A and B are shown apart, each in its own frame.
Chain A
Amino acid sequence: MPSLSYREKTLYASLVAEILVYGPYFFLHQKNSVNKVAGMIIAIIVLQVVLQLIIAAFTRNRTTDERDRLIELRGYRAGYLMVASLMVIGLAMLWFHTTMGQLHLDNPKIGLHFLSVFFGMLVIADITKTATQIVSYRRTL
């Protein structure tokens, strides 16, 4: 197995950061709040910066090339397709629950619920993007 390029190392770091920060949010508790979402965004930014700085400090050759850019584009395409698909599914579920009378828009926590669902979609799309890029480095382009 060939050694990892600078870009690959940063991708693995991003995936670790995403799993470490987003994992507990979605699987360890259900009492989400605006403060927790904001805290998570700050946490992922700080963790990403720290990890990228460590990788940059220990990597001599930090050049990127056309293959890196091609793989990056593939990742963004996969992430976009994921978020678009989740949006369609989310809208279909919203329509279903509304027509069935199961959605109570007068609930004071409905905004937080929508925020959580929307944020979850973005997180899944982000992880899809990173994972696609990691896989693309190992596949034939």
Chain B
Amino acid sequence: MPAIRNQIRELRAAREMTQQELADRVGVTRQTVIAMELDKYSPSLETAFKVAIELGVPIEQCFQYDPKGRR
């Protein structure tokens, strides 16, 4: 399990938002959104906050930290 997990895919799907739309709003590429959803990339704190704001949830509902997870 990765150290930082997220619920971006689920939250985005619930809002019927495409990866490209979220990427444009946050200011990253669609490939970065894909990498985040696949837990292949842990974003910076600033980007994590932006994602949470765009999805309309508190950051802890969008991102979770597991100290025993792999980095």
Contacts and interface: CB of A to CB of B under 8 A. Distances in A.
A58 B28 CA distance: 19
Contacts, number: 47
Given A139-B40, A140-B41, A141-B40, A66 B28 contact: yes
A81 to B, nearest CB: 21
If over half of A's interface residues share one DSSP class (helix, strand or loop), that class is named, otherwise mixed; here it is loop
Contacts of B11: none
Given A2-B34, A66-B47, A67-B35, A141 B29 contact: no
A5 B41 contact: no
Interface of A: 2-8, 61, 63-68, 137, 139-141
Given A2-B31, A5-B31, A65-B28, 10 more contacts: A4-B31, A6-B29, A7-B29, A63-B28, A66-B43, A66-B44, A67-B31, A67-B35, A67-B43, A68-B32
Interface of B: 2, 27-32, 34-35, 39-44, 47
